[in-house]
Amino acid sequence: MTTCSLVTGASRGIGAAIARELAAAGHRVAVHAGRDRAAAERVRDALPGTGHLAVTGDLSDPETCQRVVAEAVEGLGDLDVLVNNAGVFQAHPIEVSSYADWQQAWRTTLELNLLAPANLAWLAVEHLLHRPAGPAGGRLISVGSRGAYRGEPNTPAYGASKAGLHAMTQSLAIALAPHGILAAAVAPGFVQTEMARDVLDGPSGDAVRAQSPFGRVAEPVEIAATVAWLATDAPVWVSGTVLDANGASYLR
């Protein structure tokens, strides 16, 4: 039986790599992009297998979350796995940000990095619990960050949002276990993506790479493979885990 998965923020970077890994594992995948439908369609069209879908929408809007999940369910024929990957990373150090910029950064970051995953999780679980065949498992996987633990002085809202995402994942793991639904998260460090390009190509790039004893940052496929394992092959007994995938750059 084919597994149907929705991956948010999948038009590039880690999300696109997750979509590829899941499709290679036999999933039908809904590739989500915030605005760039053409990019989502390019990722969709390059996926192995058939029956994939491109969906778009600003997930900071709760009604758009409803539409995206509904389109994924209709287009794929079902929904078994939700991967909450979409997020924003916006610098706003407290000592130099204006009060207006500070508020805007927190509002924008929490809306997309925490409230959207919470809304999407509710919608996915609503579907799982009420589909004719029953929950039959189901998996909620979130892409968090090591920043939830080590602190993010230049992007404190990002660190706080990821800490909240980890805590939500663990709370849902307990709540959903009686229904056979797994909830887990991955906590990467820096990854070689467009989002991290300015930092990695800038004057601090070498120092960032040196944080890992491997002397580099992750490739998107390394995070994607970890997410795909949780979404596909991981035993249900790992539900509630936040799996560090940071190249030993931060140990706890």
Identify any residues that bridge with 183 across adjacent strands, giving them in sequence order. Answer: 140
Alpha helix stretches (DSSP H) within 80-232: 99-110, 116-130, 147-150, 156-176, 197-200, 205-209, 220-232
First to last CA, the chain: 38
pLDDT value at residue 136: 67
Residue type, 89: F
User: Any residues with CB less than 8 A from the CB of 37 and at least 6 apart, and which?
Assistant: 54, 56
Q: Is the pLDDT of residue 242 over 60?
A: yes
Range of the domain at 52: 4-245
Is there a domain that residue 250 lies in?
no
| Res 197: pLDDT | 79
Structure token digits, residue 165: 């995402």
Strand pairing class (139-143; 182-188)? parallel
Catalytic residues: 145, 158, 162
Residue 194 within a domain? yes
- How buried is 209 (Cβ within 10 angstroms: 0-12 exposed, 13-18 middle, 19+ buried)? middle
- 199-221 average pLDDT score: 91
Residue 201 inside a domain? The answer is yes
Identify the pLDDT of residue 229.
98
SS3 category, 190: coil
The Cα 234–Cα 98 span in angstroms is 45
Is the pTM above the cut of 0.85? yes
Number of domains in the chain: 1
Considering the domain boundaries, does residue 65 fall inside one? yes
Mean pLDDT of 47-67: 98
- Pairing relation of β-strands 81-84 and 53-56? unpaired
Average pLDDT, whole number, for the chain?
95
Q: Is 229 helix (H, G, I), strand (E, B) or coil?
A: helix
CATH code, domain carrying 20: 3.40.50.720
CA distance 165 to 143: 8
Give domain status of residue 252, yes or no: no
Question: Which amino acid type is present at position 34?
Answer: G
DSSP 237: G
pLDDT of 231 > 90? The answer is yes
> pLDDT of 77-131, one tens digit each?
999 999 999 999 999 999 999 999 999 999 999 999 999 999 999 999 999 999 8
Q: What is the pLDDT of residues 156-190, one digit of tens each?
A: 999 999 999 999 999 999 999 999 999 999 999 99
